[in-house]
Structure 1
Amino acid sequence: MTLSRLLLPTLLSAAAAGPALAEETIETPGRAPVPLEIFQQSETRLFQVGYRLATANAPFCERAIQVSGLLIHDADSYGNPAAVRALFHLNGDIGAQAVAPQSPAALAGILQNDTILAIDGKAIADQWPKTDPRWKRSFALRDAIDEALVRGPVEISWQSAGMPAQSATIAGVPACPTRFELIDSKDSAAADGERVLVGEKFPGLAYEEADFAAAIAHEMAHNILRHPQTFDKTGWKRKRVRLSERDADRLMPWLLQNAGYDPRAAVHFMRTWGPRHGGWIFRSRDHDGWDERVEFIEAELPKIEAVLDADGKADWKTHFTQLLPAHPTD
């Protein structure tokens, strides 16, 4: 689960506006959010949905990582760090960009826009100085937290605006090994084997949560089934791509079920998305038509219902049939 962000050139330019952005930090009733706040809202939605899907399905992934439910960002990676710190009321550069509900970080009391001060007693300012390029520090901090969670609980110190600093020891929870990252100026969603990458202009961000979760589950399914790694070895042949998309579509409702979403949200998403974006991948020769994809998804629903355990979980590792072989030879 990601604890960092990709570089955001468009938003960095907005942050670099200096006085104009600083003026937006004034708390005025009813003021419209500035671009960085809108981006934070979208990234929070993606992070929280991704956390829910990844942790709920961890028992069925071949391997799991330890996550805290905390997403950080670095004010110094923006064009005008002082304005960003003021906008988010940070008392330092490293802030909590998002916190997943009921996660270890949330249960410890960390809130969005709290300032992260130290990790395992090591002060951010002393142990992780500013870097060139600027984005490297947040990646180093993400890796430090991830590595600490593998070893065991990690102590995090933070400060809420206007409050004394506090610390808590946080133990990780298992999650499927996928990070979730929002990127600027894009309107698509994709998987690269390790991450689900969603553009800030992706239309699904405006959908109801369960439908949005279906879109994220589709991309996460590509990572779980290791489709990008398969194509790196075999090449992107049309037949294989089509089968991989069918598999990702069919695994969608299983992932949703385990995360507490209605698995039929996968059908609703496809019926909403497909007709409106029919000129995109849903009518490509590499993909089935959206109406055919609905049929493939619907065919999985009774299979899920038949294998639900007492906790409402569906073991897709045992009962899901993958169409694209993990090591195709044709």
Structure 2
Amino acid sequence: MRGVCTLALALILSAWAVPAASHAQKSSIRALQKLDAQLFSVGWKLVTGNAPYCKNAAPAIGLMLHDAHSYGQPEKVREELGLTGDIGVQAVAPWSPAAQAGVPIDATITHLDAATVTATFPPSDPLWQRLTRINDTVDRSLAENGQVAVIWKTRDGGETVALLPGVAACPTRFEVLSKGGRAVADGKRVILGRKFVGFSYDEPEFAAVVAHELAHNLLGHRALLDELGRKRKFIRLTERDADRLMPWLLANAGYDPWAAARFMKQWGPKHSGGIFRKRTHDGWDERLEYIEAEIALVEDAIARTGRADWSQEFVQSTDGYSRDQ
């Protein structure tokens, strides 16, 4: 498991193991950091913009961390990134509490509230568990106090203390894997392989990719399929609903809902058609029709109410189904 990050809490991320910090590997570290920042920034907009319509929205501060110790040779990683400890800042979401407090990339986190990071969170086995514990600490602080105190050091040794207030966000984690090119959702995370083609798209169309996967989590599709059974027809309905919810999520995040249709036109012919078509999905042209029909509903909702409130106006295709159907 590469790492753990959550937008509902502190959006914390661990790193993948690398044997040494050669020039190529240093470039790989920075390249993955760039992808993390891209996904994190878009994800933040989606989960905060849609928080009013998520049943279990929770406080978030927009800070993504990683653990140098989990790379295999932590001293090499610390030297490359200028860290004075293992827990460093991987990404900061624009306009988030962390960004407004001035938390910089590659700062070293030394304290969370009264907890000293080095003493309270020693390296773990497996490696990813340390960030899980840090995540739990931030979770409790935000849930109980609505804020968390963070102390960080920069490369030049300067130390800063900030009290970061939480803002409401839909609870989903975001992760970029060091290998592969898939985009998936597992109920709690949106996971993209570093080779996923959508990283090269313009931001609104890339946001549509993330929105599709986020939709699976917000609609509870993993639990739904566990209940109904993983028959092809049920999987297809959940994929259809994830497509249909895309424009709602995009609109609330400040994106043009038509970016969902543009994404499908760009991605579908190459990756979801002909012999490449997954039988658990509608054809890309059918998917486009569902998306365009839903955009009309989004625009109507905004015209009538000034909001794209999918919690009240979106109807799932799986409503009324039971395991026996």
Q: TM above 0.5, one fold?
A: yes
Could you say which residue in structure 1 is the equivalent of 2:204?
Answer: 210
Judge conservation of contact 1:257–1:263 (CA < 8 Å) in 2.
yes
Kindly tell me: are residues 166 and 327 of structure 1, through their superposed partners in 2, closer, same or farther at Cα, counting changes over 3 Å? farther
Q: Which residue of 2 aligns with 1:48?
A: 41
TM-score by length of 1: 0.90
Match of residue 107 from structure 1: 100
Q: Residue type of the partner of 1:322? A: Q
Q: Would you say 1:149 and 2:142 are equivalent positions?
A: yes
Aligned to 1:29: none
Partners of 1:166 and 1:193 in 2: how far apart? 36
Amino acid in structure 2 at the alignment position of 1:219: E
Indicate yes or no: 2:12 matched with 1:4. yes
Q: Which runs of 5+ in 2 are unaligned?
A: 1-5
What whole-Å deviation, never above 9, does each CA across 1:6-55 have from its counterpart, x for those lacking one? 662xxx22xx225x34xx79xxxxxxx70010000001111111111001
The residue that corresponds to 1:30 in the other structure is none
What is the match of residue 230 of structure 1? 224
Q: SS at the partner of 1:307?
A: helix
Match of 2:302 in 1: 308
Quote how far apart the aligned CAs of 1:285 are.
2.1
Distance in 1 (CA, whole Å) between partners of 2:307 and 2:275 is 31
Helix, strand or coil: the match of 1:130?
coil
AA aligned opposite 2:52: P
> What SS does the corresponding residue of 1:131 show, helix, strand or coil?
coil
Which amino acid letter does the alignment assign opposite residue 278 of structure 1?
S
Length, aligned pairs only: 315
Residues 258 and 312 of structure 1 are in contact (CA less than 8 Å); yes or no, is this contact kept in structure 2? no
Percent identity among equivalent residues? 46
CA distance in 2, matches of 1:182, 1:280: 28
Equivalent position to 2:133, from 135, 140, 148:
140
Alignment-mate amino acid for residue 219 of structure 2: L
CA RMSD of aligned residues (A): 2.0
Residue 20 of structure 2 corresponds to which residue in structure 1?
17
> Shift of the alpha carbon at 1:234?
2.1
How far does residue 208 in structure 1 lie from its aligned partner after superposition? Answer: 0.7
Taking a change above 3 Å as real, the CA distance of residues 128 and 310 of structure 1, as seen in their structure-2 partners, is farther
Secondary structure of the residue aligned to 1:308 is helix
| CA distance in structure 1 between the partners assigned to 2:43 and 2:133 by the alignment | 22
- Paired position in structure 2 for 1:124: 117
Alignment partner of 1:87 is 2:80? yes
Task: Give distance in 2, aligned partners of 1:257 and 1:293.
Answer: 19
Letter in 1 for 2:165: A
1:299 aligns with 2:293: yes
Structure 1 equivalent of residue 3 of structure 2: none
Aligned to 1:169: 163
SS at match of 1:162: coil
Question: 2:20 is matched by which residue type in structure 1?
Answer: A
Change (3 A) 1:315 1:281: farther
Q: Which stretch has the larger CA shift, 79-88 or 67-76? A: 79-88
Q: Conserved in 1, the CA contact under 8 Å of 2:49 and 2:252?
A: yes
CA shift at 1:305, angstroms?
1.2
Q: What does the per-residue CA deviation read over 1:91-120, in whole Å, with 9 as the maximum and x for residues that have no partner?
A: 111101010011011111101111111000
Distance 1:242 1:282, change over 3 A: farther
The answer as to whether partners of 1:282 and 1:289 remain within 8 angstroms in 2 is no
Match of residue 323 from structure 1:
317
